[in-house]
């Protein structure tokens, strides 16, 4: 059995080289995911409900900057579950589930990420040999970004343009072996490596992948929805977008991820704000806690409310996802567009808001928030990536807008699906006959705004659920959070409300007062509210947010761990670009020390024994 997490001579991750960071990540990941395998063996997690277990690990302090094995669970396995037929699932799922193969998900290319109908990788069917020929016709056709593909995965799901009998049938998914299972060497016809250092997630080992007329069996096309028969006949799917299912799943999971990161950041910043004393409210008094400043409360408290709002929303979205997928199994595709629009909208909104809130938490901690040891910069790097991956936010909001416009156009001719039923009511109250400075009044106002601009989504507060299951005291605080969240956004989006609702100047002024009252009302419970997230110090990994409040002692302890305090300069910088983007990106990637060797030693020492169940 492996010893617990090894670090280089006690040097924290921040001081490791790019290569050492990867080697450390492999060591930590095989230990962490050996635990998942143990839970599988004991029946404590299953192939249909491992989200919480894996999600908890991927957000934990052990894998704090991601894992080379993350995509295996996040997309490789869900893609097989979602797009492989029964025979293919029987062949591949057991090996993926016990990690005797490690997979990734290769869709994005150097030249295309958003416009997936424009992907260039081709899969051409050869009926004579009953094989598909995978090929990357240009440099921009190289797969670029797949997590774990650089040095770790030996299989991946590849999304390519399918050609058979001379005709292109659009993008489809294929399961492809890219490395030898014994030697881990890239297979002939495969060009593979890692793409280099990034803003964050530097333990994920994102890779590139090029094909040179690489042949795979016909049965390696995932054929749950569409098929290619032995003679090359193409059988199309019931719905052209069923192949996009893996992306919908991850967008839903990302909303849960944002809850975890936002809770962590606001816990750190709120606890630090209770410890930090700076300046005086009145001359001659002792310095006050910075948490007592209304400006500090304005920065932080809405993040506490947002963490709860996102958690409630994530749970509701997960229920919708499972409902719609059960209907898909029965052949009922009616709610697929709504699920797609909802997943797009909530992934975009929660990632953008979380990135903004985490940055605000950092700013609220002054210079100490800028220290890596606070864990706030690392958290920001993780959440800001989510605004881009799994669908760039702008593009996903446009998808939601497209769905809402279509829904509005069919308002009188088609029954509305549950999450847009409010449009009927908002349409009836075309100009929102009255305004009230209550939670319900604000929600109704936004429904009217949404109705009028058809691009705002609204959220359903689960207030009724809270009144059934919580004590009067807790209900009062949760209502304060609901009030805070609504009045905050009413004030943030005041221009829309002024444009589309009859809110008066007087009501805006009282809304402002109400907002400040709510901040004051929440102040006594602020630390208790973040303590309620129940995030252990090991999870927070933060000098500022530890439960015992020993901020300064911890800052100094961490500072003394820097090798710079023990020896002279270590650092070097990279060159800049001359405008030849794709060639330069590839040249930079090839500078990675990880690409200097075909197989990193951690494969033979850790990964292979892990995959063979010998750990």
Token reading at 77: 């396995």
Residue 581 binds to ligand FAD (criterion: CB under 6 A): no
Beta bridge partners of 156: 104, 176
Q: How far is the CB of 263 from ligand L4NZOF2J (least distance, A)?
A: 14
Placement of tokens 């059934």 in the chain: 468
Residue 51 binds to ligand L4NZOF2J (criterion: CB under 6 A): yes
Residue 369 binds to ligand FAD (criterion: CB under 6 A): no
3-state SS class at 161: strand
Residue of minimal Cβ distance to ligand FAD: 113
Could you give phi then psi for residue 162, rounded to 5 degrees?
-90, 125
Residue 171 binds to ligand FAD (criterion: CB under 6 A): no
d(CA 357, CA 269): 11
* Residue 72 neighbours by CB under 8 Å, 6+ apart: 96, 99, 102, 103, 104, 148, 153
For helices 472-492 and 439-453, angle between their N-to-C axes, nearest 10 degrees: 40
d(CA 415, CA 413): 7
Chosen from ligand FAD, ligand L4NZOF2J, none, partner binding at 406 (C-beta under 5 to 8 Å by type): ligand L4NZOF2J
Number of residues that bind ligand FAD (CB under 6 A): 20
In the complex with ligand L4NZOF2J, which residue's Cβ is closer, 259 or 291? Answer: 259
d(CA 64, CA 10): 17
3-state SS class at 146: coil
35, 168, 395, 474: which one contacts ligand FAD (CB under 6 A)? Answer: 395
Is 147 labelled a binding residue?
yes
d(CA 407, CA 416): 7
Q: How far is the CB of 107 from ligand FAD (least distance, A)?
A: 3
336, 383, 426, 432: which one contacts ligand L4NZOF2J (CB under 6 A)? Answer: 336
Residue of 168, 314, 194, 328 lying closest to 255 (CA atoms): 314
C-alpha dihedral, 364 to 367 to 371 to 374, nearest 10°: -40
Stretch that binds ligand L4NZOF2J, among 103-111, 125-133, 464-472, 543-551 (CB under 6 A): 103-111
In the complex with ligand FAD, which residue's Cβ is closer, 88 or 152? Answer: 152
In the set 359, 390, 461, 462, the catalytic residue is: 390
Residue 455 binds to ligand FAD (criterion: CB under 6 A): no
CB 156 within 8 A of CB 104: yes
- Among positions 108-147, residues that touch ligand L4NZOF2J (CB under 6 A) are 108, 114-117, 147
Placement of tokens 């295309």 in the chain: 112
In the complex with ligand FAD, which residue's Cβ is closer, 290 or 385? Answer: 385
Is 381 labelled a binding residue?
no
Q: Is 465 a catalytic residue?
A: no
CB 376 within 8 A of CB 548: no
Chain centroid, CA 564 distance in Å? 34
In the complex with ligand FAD, which residue's Cβ is closer, 233 or 388? Answer: 388
68, 113, 150, 337: which one contacts ligand FAD (CB under 6 A)? Answer: 113
Q: Using CB under 6 A as the criterion, what x/- string covers residues 403-432 for binding ligand L4NZOF2J? A: x--x--------------------------
In the complex with ligand L4NZOF2J, which residue's Cβ is closer, 217 or 418? Answer: 418
Sheet holding 190-194, edge to edge: 143-144, 207-211, 190-194
Token reading at 603: 């494969």
| Residues shown for the chain | 615
State how far the alpha carbon of 343 is from the alpha carbons of 41, 338, 396, 420, 593, in Å.
33, 8, 9, 14, 38
In the complex with ligand FAD, which residue's Cβ is closer, 106 or 228? Answer: 106
Q: Where are the alpha helices (DSSP H) in 46-184?
A: 51-58, 70-71, 77-83, 86-97
Residue 321 binds to ligand FAD (criterion: CB under 6 A): no
Residue 114 binds to ligand FAD (criterion: CB under 6 A): yes
Stretch that binds ligand FAD, among 388-396, 447-455, 509-517, 549-557 (CB under 6 A): 388-396
How many CA atoms lie within 13 Å of 20's alpha carbon, on the beta-carbon side? 12
In the complex with ligand L4NZOF2J, which residue's Cβ is closer, 250 or 530? Answer: 250
Residue 105 binds to ligand FAD (criterion: CB under 6 A): yes
Number of residues that bind ligand L4NZOF2J (CB under 6 A): 35
Chosen from ligand FAD, ligand L4NZOF2J, none, partner binding at 116 (C-beta under 5 to 8 Å by type): ligand L4NZOF2J
CB 291 within 8 A of CB 273: yes
Residue 334 binds to ligand L4NZOF2J (criterion: CB under 6 A): no
Residue 148 binds to ligand L4NZOF2J (criterion: CB under 6 A): no
End-to-end CA distance of the chain: 5
Residue 201 binds to ligand FAD (criterion: CB under 6 A): yes
- Among positions 206-235, residues that touch ligand L4NZOF2J (CB under 6 A) are none
Placement of tokens 């709120």 in the chain: 270
Residues binding ligand L4NZOF2J (CB under 6 A): 51, 54-55, 58, 70, 73-75, 105, 107-108, 114-117, 147, 241, 244, 247-248, 250, 253-254, 257, 336-337, 340, 389-391, 395, 399, 402-403, 406
Residue positions forming the annotated binding site for FAD: 108, 147
Active site residues: 390
Residues binding ligand FAD (CB under 6 A): 71, 105-108, 113-114, 145-147, 201, 206, 385, 388-389, 391-392, 394-395, 398
């Amino acid at each position: 059995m492996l010893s617990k997490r090894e670090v280089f001579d006690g040097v924290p991750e921040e001081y490791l080289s790019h290569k050492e960071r990867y080697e450390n990540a492999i060591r930590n990941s095989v230990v962490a995911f050996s635990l998942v395998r143990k839970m599988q063996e004991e029946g404590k997690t299953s192939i249909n409900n491992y989200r919480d277990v894996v999600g908890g690990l991927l957000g934990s302090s052990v894998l704090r900057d991601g894992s080379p094995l993350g995509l295996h669970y996040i997309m490789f396995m869900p893609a097989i579950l979602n797009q492989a037929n029964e025979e293919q699932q029987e062949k591949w799922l057991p090996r993926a589930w016990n990690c005797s193969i490690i997979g990734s998900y290769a869709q994005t290319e150097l030249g295309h990420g958003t416009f997936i109908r424009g992907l260039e990788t081709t899969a051409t069917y050869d009926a004579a040999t009953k094989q598909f020929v995978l090929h990357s016709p240009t440099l921009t056709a190289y797969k670029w970004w797949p997590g774990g593909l650089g040095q770790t995965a030996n299989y991946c799901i590849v999304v390519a343009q399918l050609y058979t009998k001379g005709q292109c049938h659009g993008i489809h998914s294929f399961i492809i072996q890219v490395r030898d299972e014994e030697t881990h060497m890239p297979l002939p016809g495969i060009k593979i490596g890692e793409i280099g250092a990034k803003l964050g997630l530097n333990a994920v080992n994102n890779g590139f992948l090029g094909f040179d007329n690489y042949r795979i069996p016909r049965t390696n096309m995932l054929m749950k929805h569409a098929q290619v028969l032995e003679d090359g006949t193409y059988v199309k799917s019931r719905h052209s977008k069923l192949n996009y299912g893996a992306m919908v799943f991850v967008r839903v999971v990302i909303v849960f991820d944002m809850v975890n990161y936002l809770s962590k950041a606001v816990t750190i910043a709120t606890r630090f704000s209770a410890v930090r004393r700076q300046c005086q409210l009145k001359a001659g008094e002792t310095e006050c806690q910075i948490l007592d400043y209304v400006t500090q409360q304005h920065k932080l408290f809405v993040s506490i409310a947002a963490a709860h709002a996102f958690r409630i929303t994530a749970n509701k979205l997960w229920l919708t996802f499972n409902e719609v997928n059960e209907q898909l199994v029965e052949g009922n595709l009616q709610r697929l567009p709504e699920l797609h629009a909802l997943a797009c909208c909530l992934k975009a909104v929660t990632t953008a808001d979380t990135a903004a809130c985490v940055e605000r938490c950092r700013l609220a901690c002054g210079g100490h928030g800028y220290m890596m040891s606070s864990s706030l910069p690392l958290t920001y790097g993780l959440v800001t990536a989510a605004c881009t991956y799994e669908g760039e936010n702008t593009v996903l909001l446009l998808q939601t807008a497209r769905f809402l416009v279509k829904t509005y156009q069919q308002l009188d001719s088609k029954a509305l699906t549950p999450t847009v039923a409010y449009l009927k009511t908002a349409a009836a109250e075309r100009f929102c006959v009255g305004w009230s400075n209550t939670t319900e009044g604000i929600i109704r106002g936004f429904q009217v705004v949404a109705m009028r601009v058809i691009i705002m989504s609204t959220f359903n507060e689960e207030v009724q659920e809270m009144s059934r299951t919580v004590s009067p005291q807790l209900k009062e605080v949760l209502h304060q959070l609901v009030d805070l969240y609504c009045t905050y956004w009413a004030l943030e989006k005041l221009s829309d409300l002024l444009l589309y609702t009859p809110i008066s100047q007087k009501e805006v002024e009282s809304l402002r007062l109400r907002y400040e009252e709510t901040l004051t009302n929440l102040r006594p419970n602020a630390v208790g509210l973040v303590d309620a997230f129940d995030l252990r110090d090991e999870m927070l990994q933060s000098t500022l947010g530890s439960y015992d409040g020993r901020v300064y002692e911890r800052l100094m302890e961490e500072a003394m761990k820097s090798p710079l305090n023990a020896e002279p300069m270590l650092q070097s910088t990279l060159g800049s670009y001359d405008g030849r983007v794709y060639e330069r990106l590839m040249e930079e990637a090839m500078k990675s020390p990880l690409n200097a060797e075909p197989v990193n030693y951690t494969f033979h020492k850790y990964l292979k024994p892990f995959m063979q169940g010998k750990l």
